């Protein structure tokens, strides 16, 4: 017998939600399948009766400028996100994060919706979205709502979504303004796949030599992807100097919960890497924020 009984290709959000609700057994949304199929195959996911493929729904694969900001469909393949001029301009941290996920084959099918819904604390796409203050548009059979990405988690591998009654339609991100920029950095084991030893995304706004607003997310720094608000406070209102970075590192080491994990890293090594990543990621965003030119802003859909 196969690993599932029904594979339904949905052509609209309503069709996908109906198929999930009508399934006579456990049903799951499938996008790229790079997490879900491995989990089913390797016994980490309970048996599934129906898979509902959402990758042919036009709304879920669009990347576009909208009146409220940048929209990225939850089932747009990562390879399109990486090369989208809109994403590269308005959400550099996200383009940089997606470019590092897996290899080309994985990026051609894997999606941002899957990266978020899989709910790993160091998922690269999720960490970038949180630093960029993204909200997820979520559909169920009653309608739609928008919720900050950072609120979509219950614990490691546990999203707050009802897997048989809800799906992420797409993500809404604020547009980049003059003096704003973002960056993503991570450290992987050289032969590693899937999850970073440590990753970090920084979004900041710079006026002259002062950071006037900043968001930092890093993983794994706890059971769910999260912002490091004390670290942000240590840098806000300062120039990106050695002194400010040293104070921010003290705050980071106090608020991040680093664990030793058998296949990736000791907690001590993560603490060491935190200093390197904090400096590199903040400085990348700081330098970029100082070099933004308004005429470089793309306005077309991609
Ligand atoms: C070789 C390899 C390397 C990888 N490298 C990395 C890496 O470097 N960094 C990293 O972060 N990840 C990595 N991953 C993990 C994976 O590729 C990503 O998490 C990917 O973004 C998942 O997207 P997907 O479309 O394949 O999700 P799927 O496997 O299709 O789905 C994953 C989960 O999300 C749910 N889901 C999917 N879409 C939605 C939606 N729109 N709404 C609600 N629920 C949804 C599914 O039901 C399932 O539970 C790697 C995986 C592999 C196999």
Q: What is the pLDDT of residues 72-131, one digit of tens each?
A: 999 999 999 999 999 999 999 999 999 999 999 999 999 999 999 999 999 999 999 999
Q: What is the count of structural domains for the chain?
A: 3
Position 150 pLDDT exceeds 50: yes
What is the DSSP-derived secondary structure letter of residue 261? B
Of 120, 140, 173, which marks where a domain is finished? 173
Is any atom of ligand 1 closer than 6 Å to the C-beta of 116? no
Same domain, yes or no, for 139 and 48?
Answer: no
Mutate to test the pocket of ligand 1, among 102, 109, 263 (most ligand atoms within 8 A of CB): 102
Containing structural domain, residue 26: 6-53
Decide: pTM greater than 0.85.
Answer: yes
Domain boundary among 107, 142, 173: 173
What residue has token string 């990543």?
277
Residues 166 and 208 in one domain: no
**Does 188 share its domain with 85?**
no
Q: Residue 225's domain is classified under what CATH number?
A: 3.30.390.50
Which residue's CA is the nearest one to ligand 1's atom 53?
34
DSSP per-residue string spanning 236-257: TTS-S-HHHHHHHHHHHHHH--
Q: Read off the CATH number of the domain in which 48 is found.
A: 3.30.43.10
Instruction: State whether 79 and 135 are in the same domain.
Output: yes
Residue 301, domain member (yes or no) = no
Residues 43 and 130 in one domain: no
Same domain, 195 and 269: yes
Q: Are residues 164 and 85 in the same domain?
A: yes
Give the model confidence (pLDDT) of 281-300 as tens digits. Answer: 999 999 999 985 544 555 55
Per-residue pLDDT reduced to its tens digit, 207-224:
999 999 999 999 999 999
Do both 161 and 73 map to the same domain? yes
Supply the angle between the helices 267-289 and 242-255 in degrees, to the nearest 10: 140
| 302 within domain boundaries | no
Question: Do 81 and 26 lie in a common domain?
Answer: no
For residue 266, what are its two tokens? 């000791």
Q: Are residues 185 and 155 in the same domain?
A: no
Q: Which residues contact 67 (CB under 8 A, 6 or more apart)?
A: none
Residue 168 sits in the same domain as residue 185: no
Cα-to-centroid distance, 44 and ligand 1 (Å): 14
Crossing angle of helices 124-131 and 92-100, rounded to 10°: 170
Same-domain pairing of 162 and 221? no
Q: Is residue 124 part of a domain?
A: yes
Among the atoms of ligand 1, which is closest to the Cα of residue 28?
47
């Amino acid at each position: 017998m196969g690993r599932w009984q029904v594979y339904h290709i949905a052509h609209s959000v309503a069709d996908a939600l109906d198929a999930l609700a009508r399934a006579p057994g456990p049903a799951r949304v499938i996008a790229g399948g790079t997490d879900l199929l491995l989990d089913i195959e390797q016994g980490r996911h309970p048996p599934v009766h129906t898979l509902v493929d959402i990758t042919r729904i036009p709304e879920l694969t669009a990347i576009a400028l909208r009146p409220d900001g940048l929209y990225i469909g939850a089932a747009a393949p990562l390879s399109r996100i990486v090369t989208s001029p809109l994403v590269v301009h308005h959400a550099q941290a996200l383009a940089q994060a997606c470019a590092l996920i897996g290899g080309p084959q994985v990026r051609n099918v894997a999606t941002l919706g899957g990266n978020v819904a899989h709910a790993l604390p160091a998922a690269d796409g999720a960490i970038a979205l949180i630093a960029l203050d993204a909200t997820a548009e979520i559909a169920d059979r009653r309608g739609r709502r928008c919720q900050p990405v950072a609120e979509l988690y219950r614990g490691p591998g546990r999203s707050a979504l009802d897997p048989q009654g809800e799906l992420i339609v797409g993500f809404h991100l604020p547009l980049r303004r003059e003096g704003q920029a973002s960056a993503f950095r991570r450290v992987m084991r050289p032969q590693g796949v899937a999850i970073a030893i440590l990753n970090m995304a920084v979004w900041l706004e710079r006026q002259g030599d002062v950071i006037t607003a900043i968001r930092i997310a890093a993983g794994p720094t706890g059971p769910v992807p999260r912002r490091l608000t004390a670290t942000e406070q240590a840098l806000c209102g300062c120039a990106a100097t050695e002194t400010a970075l040293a104070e921010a590192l003290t705050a980071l080491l106090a608020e991040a919960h680093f664990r030793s994990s058998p296949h990736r890293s000791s907690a001590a090594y993560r603490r060491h890497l935190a200093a390197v990543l904090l400096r590199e990621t903040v400085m990348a965003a700081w330098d970029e924020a100082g070099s933004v030119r308004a005429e470089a802003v793309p306005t077309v859909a991609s």
